[in-house]
């Protein structure tokens, strides 16, 4: 099902790019947009996880380097009947975590080093269980592709903004460009489209991953307690995260910013905690 959703997402975004390309540059713009979309789709499918991990300077660790974390991931993956994902650590002050990859056989779990200082072993198990549920549900491909597409849309909006400022639209007689209102629309629509991609991907899946993670660990209160601590920390401690990838994290890394709250890619933490606590009754 998620494979079909990924295909639909890539198709819709391809059509979006072609439409924008036609408005901004006529036939030439559409041709460029098709080439760009084809390259983006190929890149997003095969390399989005590597780009995201590199973006946050995540480094892979072995069992000898992070024995407690590695043992938690290994035990829970065996319990869930899943392949062992690669394990990464991100050097960041904000405690957070995410999973990425194409499928369960090519997956990675990344946590910040600060999360291991903040959480107890049981709470860390709750977080890892949540991320493994994302992998098991095959959410990670859709989420990684969405992050790449959202980033591309945001980049396209920036290009339109600069082109509008310097008058770079509409070269040639057969072009339909040259209309400053088109650039203005692009500057408004593109960031909204990027945010819609993220919000459509994340909200319902976070609830499903919370439930799935609780089943993997066997105790919903592990994750409930972890979410409470992580949410409080994210409010106080900033993280150098991009809006295009914020939906990947277990809690919104931008939640400390007032503007980000208006376009949150995550459901309310209070509601997530309440659902988890209700499971343990």
Per DSSP, the three-state class of 60 is strand
Determine what percent of the chain is predicted with pLDDT higher than 90.
Answer: 46
CB 3 within 8 A of CB 112: no
Residue 84: the pLDDT is 97
**C-alpha span between 32 and 25 (Å, rounded):** 9
For the record, the structure tokens of 165 come out as: 């400022």
Residue 257: the pLDDT is 57
Choosing from 65, 68, 122, 131, which is the catalytic residue? 131
Residue 155 pLDDT grade (very low, low, confident, very high; cuts 50, 70, 90) = low
Determine what percent of the chain is predicted with pLDDT higher than 70.
Answer: 67
Which CB contacts under 8 angstroms, 24+ apart, belong to 64-73? Answer: 66/116, 68/116, 68/121, 68/124, 69/111, 69/116, 69/124, 72/121, 72/124, 72/125, 72/128, 73/109, 73/128, 73/132
For the record, the structure tokens of 231 come out as: 């949410």
- The listed range with the strongest mean pLDDT (27-36, 150-159, 190-199) is 27-36
Least confident of 7-11, 48-52, 139-143, 259-263: 259-263
User: Regarding predicted confidence, which is higher, 129 or 26?
Assistant: 129
**What does the pLDDT look like over 54-77, one tens digit per residue?**
999 999 999 999 999 999 999 999
Residue 46: the pLDDT is 77
Residue 176: the pLDDT is 46
Residue 259 pLDDT grade (very low, low, confident, very high; cuts 50, 70, 90) = very low
Residue 177: the pLDDT is 46
Residue 172: the pLDDT is 44
Average pLDDT over residues 17-44: 74
CB 203 within 8 A of CB 266: yes
Average pLDDT over residues 268-280: 94
Average pLDDT, the chain: 81
pTM of the predicted protein model = 0.77
- The listed range with the strongest mean pLDDT (161-175, 208-222, 260-274) is 208-222
Average pLDDT over residues 201-205: 70
For the record, the structure tokens of 55 come out as: 């973006």
Name 179's Cβ contacts closer than 8 Å, sequence gap at least 6. 169, 170
Per DSSP, the three-state class of 107 is strand
Q: Which residues pair with 99 in a beta bridge?
A: 109
DSSP conformational letter for 64: T
Active-site residue, 235 included: no
Q: What is the dihedral of CA 70, 73, 78, 79, to 10 degrees?
A: 140
User: Regarding predicted confidence, which is higher, 122 or 268?
Assistant: 122
Where on the phi/psi map is residue 142: left (φ > 0), alpha (ψ -120 to 50), or beta?
alpha
């Amino acid at each position: 099902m998620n494979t079909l959703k990924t295909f639909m997402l890539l198709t819709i975004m391809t059509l979006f790019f072609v439409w924008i390309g036609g408005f901004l540059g006529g036939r030439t713009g559409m041709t460029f947009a098709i080439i760009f979309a084809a390259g983006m789709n190929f890149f997003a499918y095969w390399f989005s996880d590597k780009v995201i991990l590199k973006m946050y300077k995540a480094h892979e660790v072995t069992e000898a380097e992070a024995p407690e974390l590695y043992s938690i991931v290994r035990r829970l993956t065996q319990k869930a009947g899943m392949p062992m994902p690669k394990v990464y650590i991100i050097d960041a002050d904000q405690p957070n975590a995410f999973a990425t990859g194409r499928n369960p056989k090519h997956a990675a779990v990344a946590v910040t080093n600060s999360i291991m200082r903040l959480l107890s072993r049981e709470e860390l198990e709750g977080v890892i269980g949540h991320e493994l549920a994302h992998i098991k549900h095959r959410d990670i491909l859709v989420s990684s592709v969405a992050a790449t597409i959202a980033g591309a849309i945001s980049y396209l909006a920036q290009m339109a903004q600069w082109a509008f400022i310097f008058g770079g639209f509409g070269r040639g007689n057969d072009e339909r460009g040259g209309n400053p209102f088109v650039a203005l629309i692009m500057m408004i629509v593109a960031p909204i489209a990027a945010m819609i991609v993220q919000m459509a991907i994340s909200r319902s899946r976070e609830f499903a991953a919370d439930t799935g993670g609780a089943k993997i660990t066997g105790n919903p209160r592990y994750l409930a307690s972890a979410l409470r601590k992580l949410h409080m920390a994210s409010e106080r401690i900033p993280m150098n995260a991009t809006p295009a990838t914020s939906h990947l994290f277990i809690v919104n890394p931008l939640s400390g910013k007032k503007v980000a709250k208006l376009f949150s890619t995550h459901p309310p933490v209070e509601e997530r905690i309440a659902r988890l606590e209700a499971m343990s009754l």
